[in-house]
Structure 1
Amino acid sequence: MSNSTLKRQLGPWAALAIAVGTTIGSGIFVSAGQVASAAGTPLLSLASWIIGGLIIIPQMLVLAELSTAYPENGSGYVYLDKAGFRPLAFLYGWASFFALDPPSISIMALAIVSYVAPFLPFFNGIAGKVLATAIVVVLTVLHYRSVREGGFFQVLITIAKIVPFALVITIGLIFMKVGNFTVVPASAQHSSVMNSLMSGVSATTWSYTGMAAVCYMAGEFRQPNKTLPRALLGSTIIIMILYTLLSVAVTGLMPFDKLIASQSAVSDAVTYIPGFAQIASAVVSALAVVVILGSLSSCIMYQPRLEYAMAKDGLFFKIFGRVHPKYETPSISILFQVGYAIILIFLTDLSTLLGYFTLVLLIINILMYASIVFCRKRADYQPMFRTPLWKTMTALSILGSAWMAWGTFIWAPWQGLLAAIVVCVTGLPAYYYWERKHRKQQAEATSIAD
């Protein structure tokens, strides 16, 4: 294993771009309609987006403290390990690598192709998989060769994602109809406001997932005491404002009964803008490609840092801990992760499988937020950022993650439990093997030193 480590080369803009770029994905194109349908009325739909964003803030505050206490690559793996939950820390990384991170790269690459294929039919079938692979390879080369250039690209692609949304919002606000906000569908007239609001907020939760991506690369940001808290909290506020304003624009453009039935709310809303009806599909498809490309780039950049951190601790394949002597990137970890993702591109649809394994990570996330309680008891715990009202924020973080876990469990109960069993049955033997080997190496090193 190389003795070199990853250097702190990234600044605050790259951190913010990774957080924002990871979170804003293709889901927002359909979630506006889903949230409206769940909330039942225009005003409750808008309130759901605001509350959904506010719920994430306690989680970001907890992560801001943990990440500045241990500004190392690895995110939840590091915090669970420091809290004394080393087997769970390993399972966090094990499940991420084999069941979540590379599959997510595959799914996003194929999603880009799905927006291209209607306009270029050649890219249906195997040609589409080849195109998806080519996109992944190009982004991999970028992030393999330079952390700085990868961060710069992430800033540019994130700006490219936000600008079109800002234009849709601005034009939508100009042409919106205020009367659309006063409509109360018959189906919502007898519904409880609280139940409708809870349903609406639940529908926003996945759209707000992704800001914590910066914690995977905490060891590569300059001035982590300032950069990490600002990226975590700043991205949450930016995304909450963007989503809320987009919901206002979409609701103002479309009749509400059309909105709640829409499976592509943003695209359908654009057709109500004068002069855009004929080109709405092409415009939104182009926007979707840019949006997903930004998320894909971010994932290829930050995800390999988790296995790199585990390998440096002796809890993963040793080769994953190597740092390229010239490019100063976790080159082997990047190649293995992306290589696995490319293999998955040519296999069957992975979207449903990804959902099953998500329950495992959500449950471990609950423990990750709880780890602050145990980390605060450590002698080496000296965070550069302190969470205000930390006990309350921790409790809210746990409840928010538990809410998502419950929603996932209701969606696929036995599949989620089966996925958890698979992770434990395959992961725990691997953990004990590597842990025993790591302790033996430490003992030998200590013996030689003595």
Structure 2
Amino acid sequence: MEVKEASSTSADGKMDEDTGKVHLKRQLGLISAVSMIAGTMIGSGIFMSPQWVLYHMGSPGSSLLIWAACGLLAMLGALSYAELGTVITESGGDYIYILRNVGSLPAFLLAYTSVIVVRPAGIAGISLSFAEYVVAAFYPGCPSPQAVIKCTAAVCILVLGTINCLNVRLSMSIMNFFTAAKLIILLVIIVGGLVLLVKGNTQVFHNAFANTATGFGPVGVAFYQGLWSYDGWNNLNYITEELKNPEVNLPRAVMIAIPLVTCVYLLVNISYFAAMTPQELLTSDAVAISWGLKVLGTWTWIISLGVALSTIGSANGTFFSGGRVCYVAAREGHLPDALSMAHVKRLTPSPALIFTSVISLIMIIPGDFSSIVNFFSFTAWLFYGITISGLIYMKIKKPDIPRPYKVPIIIPVIVLIAAVYLVLAPIIGSPQLEYLYVTLFILSGLILYIPVVRYKWSPGWFHSVTLHLQLLLQVAPTDKNN
């Protein structure tokens, strides 16, 4: 039986009764595509990252410039990915683009790193931010205990993992509900900030660029924190096979969603600065809650509830789309067969979701939000750079390939330069052993690639374990959709 996961905005697949296979339809339209990009991007970052961007940049004016620059970079990156998605119309995002343009080894290293590090790190970071906001409401005026925060984050991961394993439709409904909730809460913050500005609360902008940091490293780390909030700009590329008219809707969705999110983020940051001094913002454990106490008073619980719903929705979206790399990589022979399997009745990628949940739980034990973001961003932009390199190579060496949509070559060149900077800046400006550990972990994939992928080595007991897992979890293999 072939079983494939439904995307966050598509309906269940259609069963072919003759072959017993499930096929997904192309039914993700432009509005749904815009909603997917914006809904994935707007998560925990805008409620957590502002204080860290300010911490590294030193001034409100330079912080706003970083937020605008992050939006521009996300836009340029998404436009470049739009060209890739209209030429290589397979699902899988970065993995499939690297596999087709660069080669098997770097594609394997991406899949290996994504499954073990990038996706779980994203879920852990979002869950920790959710926990900080929920717990902060019970500890007003004092720091929240780290043990309580991490236990709450663990509960969040377990609940969302269970929901995604049990029911696709329920997960889709939760995502739609939380997307609406996060837009409402951001609108409340924006309107509140505009009211404060009209009343004359503009003192923080009088010397907006005082104490601005200009070092190579601090600016790079500030970009990491800002770009965390824009993560998801390439999420639509993971489900290209389910997008209606992708050569038109993919670039259009990007051009609508990312400028919209950028404007929202800038207005929210301005609202924060209108309500709080830089010192107050830096010492806040939960920026939006501190804003609420200043502006809304006893109605602050609305902000707390809205932020909690927003972060849960973002984590749910990461869980939901996380199976794509596992599916595509497994069907290409780069990951264990078990990760390409799905439940025969519920049509959910149970093994991949369970595995991701376990790794995410491990990551919240030693980590905090800031370090997880840096860890995640360093790895992500390393592979973004490799993906963009493949696009540049394709534009130079294969100019005659039909391109329904294409961008000027200067755009991917700018994104590649930015990716190189984002990978090297923290290492040069603020060297830490964590970056060495990440690099060594990525390279450790070579130990598996050579025997397992290159020479197709598989111990006998591994096949037996896979069969037992199939029986225990009631899952079946997946394959390409015909």
When the two structures are superposed, what TM-score results if normalisation uses the length of structure 1? 0.81
| CA–CA separation in structure 1 for the residues paired with 2:99 and 2:42 | 29
Give the direction of change, closer, same or farther, for the CA distance of 1:395–1:167 in structure 2 (3 Å limit): same
1:236-260 per-position Cα deviation (integer Å, ceiling 9, x unaligned): 1121011111122222233456446
Conserved? CA contact 1:5–1:323, under 8 Å? no
Residue 252, structure 1, aligned to residue 274, structure 2 = yes
Among 45, 61, 81, which residue is 1:27 paired with?
45
Residue 172, structure 1, aligned to residue 193, structure 2 = yes
| CA–CA separation in structure 2 for the residues paired with 1:5 and 1:209 | 30
SS of the aligned residue for 1:206 comes to helix
Q: How do 1:146-165 and structure 2 match up within 5 A?
A: 147=168, 150-165=171-186
C-alpha displacement of 1:375? 3.3
Range moving further from structure 2, 232-241 or 353-362: 353-362
Q: How do 1:183-198 and structure 2 match up within 5 A?
A: 183-184=206-207, 187-188=210-211
C-alpha displacement of 1:405? 1.6
Residue 136, structure 1, aligned to residue 157, structure 2 = yes
Give the direction of change, closer, same or farther, for the CA distance of 1:161–1:256 in structure 2 (3 Å limit): same
Residue 335, structure 1, aligned to residue 354, structure 2 = yes
Residue 303, structure 1, aligned to residue 322, structure 2 = yes
Gaps of 5+ in 1: 441-450
Question: Which residue pairs with 1:444 in the alignment?
Answer: none
Among 297, 300, 303, which residue is 1:277 paired with?
297
Question: Which residue pairs with 1:105 in the alignment?
Answer: 123
| CA–CA separation in structure 1 for the residues paired with 2:59 and 2:413 | 30
Q: Match for 1:385: what amino acid?
A: Y
Residue 62, structure 1, aligned to residue 80, structure 2 = yes
C-alpha displacement of 1:291? 1.9
Q: How do 1:23-422 and structure 2 match up within 5 A?
A: 23-36=41-54, 42-119=60-137, 132-144=153-165, 147=168, 150-176=171-197, 177=200, 179-180=202-203, 182-184=205-207, 187-188=210-211, 204-255=226-277, 258-259=280-281, 264-273=286-295, 276-280=296-300, 282-342=301-361, 347-349=365-367, 352=371, 355-356=374-375, 358-376=377-395, 377=397, 381-387=401-407, 389=408, 391-409=409-427, 410-422=429-441
Give the direction of change, closer, same or farther, for the CA distance of 1:196–1:433 in structure 2 (3 Å limit): closer
1:4-38 per-position Cα deviation (integer Å, ceiling 9, x unaligned): 46624544444333322332232322433444455
**How many residue pairs get matched?**
431
Question: Which residue pairs with 1:432 in the alignment?
Answer: 450
Conserved? CA contact 2:40–2:314, under 8 Å? yes
C-alpha displacement of 1:143? 3.4
Conserved? CA contact 2:168–2:347, under 8 Å? yes
| CA–CA separation in structure 1 for the residues paired with 2:360 and 2:222 | 33
Give the direction of change, closer, same or farther, for the CA distance of 1:332–1:40 in structure 2 (3 Å limit): closer
C-alpha displacement of 1:197? 9.1
Give the direction of change, closer, same or farther, for the CA distance of 1:432–1:382 in structure 2 (3 Å limit): farther
Question: Which residue pairs with 2:12 in the alignment?
Answer: none
1:90-137 per-position Cα deviation (integer Å, ceiling 9, x unaligned): 10110111122124323433443333334468x978887665455434
SS of the aligned residue for 1:184 comes to coil
C-alpha displacement of 1:398? 0.8
Q: Match for 2:24: what amino acid?
A: K
C-alpha displacement of 1:353? 6.2
Question: Which residue pairs with 1:7 in the alignment?
Answer: 24
SS of the aligned residue for 1:406 comes to helix
Give the direction of change, closer, same or farther, for the CA distance of 1:187–1:107 in structure 2 (3 Å limit): closer
When the two structures are superposed, what TM-score results if normalisation uses the length of structure 2? 0.76
| Greater helix fraction, Structure 1 or Structure 2 | 1
